[in-house]
Amino acid sequence: MATPAYETHEHDVIVIGAGGAGLRAAIEAAAQGVSVGLICKSLLGKAHTVMAEGGIAAALGNVWPEDNWQVHFRDTMRGGKMLNNWRMAQLHAQEAPERVLELERWGALFDRTQHGLISQRDFGGHRYARLAHIGDRTGLEMIRTLQYHGIHQGIDVYMECNVQRLLKDGDRVSGAVGYWRKNGEMVVFKAKAVVLATGGIGKAWKITSNSWEYTGDGHSLALWAGADLIDMEFVQFHPTHMVWPPSVAGLLVTEGVRGDGGTLKNNKGERFMFNYIPEFFKGETADNEAEADRWYEDKKNNRRTPDLLPRDEVARAIRSEVKAGRGSPHGGVFLDICSRRPADYIRKRLPSMYHQFKELAGVDITKEPMEVGPAQHYVMGGVRVDADTTQGTVAGLFAAGEVAGGMHGSNRLGGNSLSDLVVFGRRAGLHAALYAKNFGGQLVADAGQVDAVVRECLEPLERAGGENPYAIQADLQETMHNLVGIIRKEAELKEAFKRIEALKERAKKVRVDGGRVYNSGWHTALDLRSLLTVAECSALAALERKESRGGHTREDHPFTDDAWGKLNVVLRLREGRVQVSREPLPEMPAELKALFQERK
């Protein structure tokens, strides 16, 4: 065999992605005594988890002793409009408290109750104040805790390494091929098991809270390796982001603002959310301002403020207000906490929000309302996994966090993402390690597969062609923004599909100069492949689901349809084409169904 032009590493388990899920998976796999490689697209500690603000949902019962996993489970399922994988939602609600306490034992300093326990805050769709938090920088504390715990667990960390393709040995995943950003050299990982923890797909949209890393890498790696994706039509447009100045459009404004007493208002000063309470949530939502305001202090005798309806409901309401001409000067609505809470309280509870508006928009949120509007934030869809083990439909492949589908159904509740990361990150690490231990075969990396990936990766540097990768990315973002946004319809989705096909053709002619060393243009060119893949998947699934539910609203099918409520849209790559099918949801057992009959 010729000397390979790339370095090779071997591990029992490799984890791709080093946010909350990836770090937690790597820590757990290492605890099982197997050799672990953790591959980060950026430097360690910079992953998207760092941006999470409001908190981590867990029924600790520190603030409201009435809270328990059943209530959290019920809130999660209702927030997802019952399309969630019930078993994932159950495991999540049951295990989140222990995962939060574990973070505390590893050094996380959560804000405290007056009795010295972990404090919890209100958030949309959660019946009780449930989010453990550190001001409004919970994600930073979480990733730093996992990072500094992780570096002492004997994990090999590969920073600024971009995985481009998974390797297969027959029907089984056997490793991955990537490149080092710092020098552009290719690198091969041989592994018995692979955990995907790559996050989401937000960079396919123009206005998003997601960073450059969110190009759907894990979704695409899984699809290309033959695994199923589910629920790709469900994209969360979080209702509150900065809308001005233009350069910060899409910067997240935490739901914690509303959890801590902030309210949404239109340009007439009306708290418009009272006009948008859907039938499904009427029983548990206050229909007048006095009751909504009392709810913050007395949850027993009052119903929740409609400002804290699930995110899909609030995002649609804001869009309607703006469309009706009742928006703010820069095309959003007003979010007012200054008239409702003292300045000191705001600065203590929401320090990053204060800082962010002050520095980037020149707005003092203790004195003026914020202008906010919806932006792409999260994808509910992802790799179809077994709830208990997180294993995908291809052997040796596991997935946790945003890249996995099913947990959140059609809409994720705020705070359920950070808990998802650690609950299923741990499960992924555990089961990947067990799989690796039971796997008796040889570690193999098929040279033919590796060479093909290497060739494909180097093409943009070598081919003749004139397409600029940034221009293709911008055109895709425009397409998804305009045609696969908050409100969809058939003609537009078909048009989106056509445009994505055209962009795929242009991407084949993308050309970058400047060599392989930390070449941002080359990196952008390579990311286009996964970005176009997930854009296509999302548009295809959105076209298939002919109803409106959660993060998928069809203008031409505006109602929720019970028949669709029993189906997942499943995507799989066969003979070079993405196939779409409708498959039944797992059936919830009777004792859990009973939880939904208790109260409306």
Partner 1 sequence: MPTFTMRVFRGGPTGGDFRDYRVDADDGMVVLDVIHRLQATQAPDLACRWNCKAGKCGSCSAEIDGKPRLMCMTRMDLFKPGDTVTVTPIRTFPIIRDLVTDVSYNYVKARQVPPLRLKPPDPDGKYRMMQEDVDRAQEFHKCIECFLCQDVCHVIRDHEELKPAFAGPRFFIKAAGLDMHPLDTLDRTEFVRAQAGIGLCNITKCCTEVCPEHIHITDNGIIPMKERMVDNFDPVVWLLRKFRGGRQEPA
- What does the binding site for partner 1 look like in residue numbers (CB under 8 A)? 42-48, 50-51, 104-107, 109-112, 114-117, 134-135, 137, 139-141, 144, 148-149, 151-152, 159, 182, 211-213, 244-248, 251-252, 352, 355-356, 359-361, 468-471, 474, 512-515, 517-522, 524
Buried b (16+ CB within 10 A) or exposed e, 363-389: bebbeebbbbbbbbbbbbbbbbbbbee
- Residue closer to partner 1, measured from CB, 251 or 592: 251
Name the CA dihedral angle for 465, 467, 473, 477, rounded to a multiple of 10 degrees.
-130
CB of 69 to partner 1, least distance (A): 18
Instruction: Give, in order, the Cα–Cα distances in Å from 74 to each of 283, 299, 563.
Output: 14, 17, 21
CB of 152 to partner 1, least distance (A): 5
CB atoms within 10 A of CB 131: 29
Which DSSP state fits 552? Answer: B
CB of 6 to partner 1, least distance (A): 19
Is position 258 annotated as part of the catalytic site? yes
CB of 247 to partner 1, least distance (A): 4
CB of 113 to partner 1, least distance (A): 8
CB atoms within 10 A of CB 100: 26
CB of 401 to partner 1, least distance (A): 16
- Residue closer to partner 1, measured from CB, 36 or 571: 36
Q: Give me the phi and psi of 271, to 5 degrees please.
A: -85, 85
Apex 364 CA angle, 361 and 368, nearest 5: 105
Distance CA 353, CA 347 (A): 8
Burial class (CB in 10 A: 0-12, 13-18, 19+), 426: buried
Residue type, 566: K
Residue type, 280: F
Residue 569 and residue 558 in contact, taking contact as beta carbons nearer than 8 Å = no
- Residue closer to partner 1, measured from CB, 42 or 220: 42
Scanning 227-310, the segments in alpha helix (DSSP H) are 256-259, 289-295
Instruction: Give the β-pairing of 172-180 and 229-230.
Output: unpaired
- Residue closer to partner 1, measured from CB, 362 or 440: 362
Tell me which residue has tokens 């600790």. 60
- Residue closer to partner 1, measured from CB, 144 or 271: 144
Catalytic residue among 74, 258, 506, 552: 258
The interaxial angle of helices 469-483 and 490-507, nearest 10 deg, is 170
Distance CA 331, CA 243 (A): 7
- Residue closer to partner 1, measured from CB, 422 or 542: 422
Residue 157 and residue 16 in contact, taking contact as beta carbons nearer than 8 Å = no
CB atoms within 10 A of CB 470: 15
Tell me which residue has tokens 């409901």. 313
- Residue closer to partner 1, measured from CB, 242 or 450: 242
CB of 105 to partner 1, least distance (A): 6
- Residue closer to partner 1, measured from CB, 266 or 477: 477
Q: Give me the phi and psi of 170, to 5 degrees please.
A: 65, -125
CB of 354 to partner 1, least distance (A): 12
CB of 79 to partner 1, least distance (A): 26
Catalytic residue among 92, 126, 165, 238: 238
Nearest alpha-carbon partner for 159 in 46, 293, 33, 3? 46
- Residue closer to partner 1, measured from CB, 245 or 589: 245
Helix or strand run (H / E) with residue 165:
strand 161-169
Nearest alpha-carbon partner for 26 in 383, 382, 436, 388? 436
Chain-centroid distance of CA 238 in Å reads 11
Distance CA 198, CA 40 (A): 9
Active site residues: 238, 258
